[in-house]
Amino acid sequence: MKTSDIRALYEEFVLPTYARSGVCLVKGKGSKVWDLEGKEYLDFFPGWAVSGLGHCHPDIVNAIKNQARKLLHVANNYYGVKQALLAKKIIEKSFPGRVFFCNSGAEAMESAIKFARKFGSKTGRYEMITMERSFHGRTLATLTATGQEKFHKGFEPLPEGFKHVPFNDFDALKQAVGPKTIAIALEPIQGEGGIQVASPDYLKKVKALCHEKNLLLVFDEVQTGMGRTGKWFAFEHYGIEPDLMALAKSLGSGVPIGALVVNRKIQEEVLTPGTHASTYGGNPLVAAAALAVFKAIEKGKLLGNAEAMGSYLKSRLEELKGKYPNLIKEVRGIGLMLGVELNRPGAEIVNRLRERGLLINCTQENVLRIMPAMTVTKRMIDQAVRLMDQVFSELS
Ligand SMILES: *Cc1c(COP(=O)(O)O)cnc(C)c1O
């Protein structure tokens, strides 16, 4: 079979909900992937921020193999060994509390919304304030929480009880809080929104406001979590803790798993037996994989690598900005979550890079999103920067 045969099958049988690049990837190892025709690519956006340890990390593959031989799935009316150990691990690395498991980022945020509403139901509060240009998923509630109109169009009427305010603007947020407000939700670094980093001063004030008004602070760390920023979770850069934290993407480094972490202070009597559930949530297979992700990050000292390689990559991108001031407006981000804002649309750059063998992403039309695996090396970064340099020089 060739890529053109696969494309024909898609055109006939798969709903066209994605803009696809025309490449069919069939094999991966670390930061490299190969397509059906055998062409090799350097992958600096592996699995849309899912494959945090790169493709097919041997420890994850082994954990999956071992678990698959024993037990793939048990329902959540039984205990599971791997789920218990994974919950303990997540809590040890984040903050004292408990975990609910699901299968995706949207479900983790949906769980946060349900938790907040149940928490507020005693006092008649239900409204969640979220940020403009945020991204929280595609279920009806999470797309409503998402502060971008393009995701709402055509799906009205949307669920009630969401308000959007500009990101990093404390006064706007404070003004939006009303008698019905129960929670504030945000990404510490907006991913889909163009790698917008929350300012430390802003988050400290948001935390204080939540304390003062008895609001829940929800961090969507689906993209920022699991070491990408050089710390286990992005909140650690700010010296504050959220009440609820949503995880997914890199948590499984390739298997579908999501989690909502709930601070011990608020968890009692909110989501009780029967009030929320997920058939697959945290099943033995995905829990074994996620446990192996934690262990591989520790064993490989990958937080340190993410920090070191992140600052190296950022400095190399700053060099490119110096060289192409007409093309590049700003380089921003933390660790291996970097954005290059352009003075022009980025789609053509992404396409030209792919033709040369480098995979990256573009979001908000003009922000190149570069999020290599935590195992990335200096040599791979140099290779990627060389390819970017070539494409920028063609276009300038
Ligand atoms: C990707 C993403 C989601 C949605 O995750 P899915 O697994 O696609 O449902 C939610 N929030 C953030 C910040 C994300 O990056």
Residue 334, pLDDT score: 98
Atom of ligand 1 nearest to the CA of 107: 9
pTM for this model (two decimals): 0.98
* Residue bearing the CA closest to ligand 1, atom 5: 105
Q: Are residues 212 and 313 in the same domain?
A: no
Q: Are residues 259 and 152 in the same domain?
A: yes
Domain termination site, one of 242, 270, 299 = 299
* Residue bearing the CA closest to ligand 1, atom 8: 105
Tell me how far the alpha carbon of residue 1 lies from the centroid of ligand 1, in angstroms. 32
Tell me how far the alpha carbon of residue 70 lies from the centroid of ligand 1, in angstroms. 30
40-84 pLDDT tens trace:
999 999 999 999 999 999 999 999 999 999 999 999 999 999 999
Atom of ligand 1 nearest to the CA of 256: 7
Mutate to test the pocket of ligand 1, among 18, 223, 251, 280 (most ligand atoms within 8 A of CB): 223
267 confidence band (pLDDT: 50, 70, 90): confident
Q: Are residues 37 and 77 in the same domain?
A: no
Tell me how far the alpha carbon of residue 248 lies from the centroid of ligand 1, in angstroms. 7
Phi and psi angles of residue 240, each rounded to the nearest 5 degrees, phi first: -135, 160
Q: Are residues 185 and 65 in the same domain?
A: yes
Residue 372, pLDDT score: 98
Q: Is 90 exceeded by the pLDDT of residue 237?
A: yes
Angle made by CA atoms 327, 333, 338, in degrees to the nearest 5: 60
Q: Is 90 exceeded by the pLDDT of residue 268?
A: no
CATH number of the domain where residue 278 is located? 3.40.640.10
Q: Are residues 99 and 112 in the same domain?
A: yes
Instruction: Look up residue 381 and give its two tokens.
Output: 């970064």
Pocket of ligand 1 (CB under 6 A): 104-106, 109, 135-137, 187, 191-192, 220, 222-223, 248-249
Mutate to test the pocket of ligand 1, among 135, 196, 235, 244 (most ligand atoms within 8 A of CB): 135
Query: If you write DSSP's letter for every residue of 306-317 in order, what string do you get?
Result: HHHHHHHHHHHH
Q: Are residues 202 and 218 in the same domain?
A: yes
Q: Which residues contact 63 (CB under 8 A, 6 or more apart)?
A: 288, 289, 291, 292
Q: Are residues 218 and 121 in the same domain?
A: yes
Give me the percent of the chain exceeding a pLDDT of 90. Answer: 98
Q: Are residues 271 and 171 in the same domain?
A: yes
What is the rounded distance in angstroms from the CA atom of residue 340 to the CA atom of residue 389? Answer: 13
* Residue bearing the CA closest to ligand 1, atom 10: 136
Whether residue 45 contacts residue 366, with contact meaning beta carbons closer than 8 Å, is answered with no
Query: If you write DSSP's letter for every residue of 64-125 in order, what string do you get?
Result: HHHHHHH-S---TTS--HHHHHHHHHHHHHS-SEEEEEESSHHHHHHHHHHHHHHHHGGGT-
List the domain range (segments joined by +) for residue 294: 59-299
* Residue bearing the CA closest to ligand 1, atom 15: 223
Q: Are residues 51 and 63 in the same domain?
A: no
- AA identity, residue 51: S
Mutate to test the pocket of ligand 1, among 249, 250, 251, 255 (most ligand atoms within 8 A of CB): 249
Domain termination site, one of 299, 323, 352 = 299
Domain termination site, one of 276, 299, 322 = 299
Torsion of CA 47, 48, 52, 57, to 10 degrees: 0
Helix runs in the chain, H state only? 3-13, 58-70, 81-93, 105-120, 140-145, 170-176, 200-213, 284-299, 302-323, 347-356, 378-395
Q: Are residues 49 and 164 in the same domain?
A: no
Q: Are residues 314 and 265 in the same domain?
A: no
Q: Are residues 215 and 157 in the same domain?
A: yes
CATH number of the domain where residue 371 is located? 3.90.1150.10
Total domain count for the chain? 2
Tell me how far the alpha carbon of residue 138 lies from the centroid of ligand 1, in angstroms. 8
Q: What is the mean pLDDT of the chain?
A: 97
* Residue bearing the CA closest to ligand 1, atom 11: 136
Full strand arrangement of the beta sheet holding 25-29? 25-29, 32-35, 40-43, 358-359
Residue 265, pLDDT score: 86
216-225 pLDDT tens trace:
999 999 999 9
Mutate to test the pocket of ligand 1, among 103, 134, 222, 224 (most ligand atoms within 8 A of CB): 222
Tell me how far the alpha carbon of residue 363 lies from the centroid of ligand 1, in angstroms. 14
